[in-house]
Amino acid sequence: MEKNKFINKISSLLFYISILTFILAFNFAHNPPGGWTQQYMPNLNGRSITDITFTDSLNGYATTTVSSGY
């Protein structure tokens, strides 16, 4: 009788762990991975970037050469 109670508790524990694992697995399945993403440069009309400065980890500024032709 004692053995049956132990087996029932283990079975219940495995059942709840498998449900929790299933929920967590599908919850994270639709999140895109973090890290680097490709950024595209706008058309600079042949000018080159002369300096880049970042104000923080997400924002930055780039300067280009000045075109003197009209």
Average pLDDT on 35-59 reads: 83
Query: Would you give the distance in Å from CA 1 to the centre of its chain?
Result: 51
More confident residue, 10 or 41: 10
Domain residue ranges in the chain = 2-30+39-64
What are the tens digits of pLDDT across the range 17-41? 999 988 887 776 566 666 777 777 7
Average pLDDT over the chain, rounded to an integer: 82
Look at residues 54, 52, 49 and name the one whose alpha carbon lies nearest to residue 64: 49
Q: Which helix (H) or strand (E) holds 63?
A: strand 60-64
Whether 45 contacts 61, CB under 8 Å: no
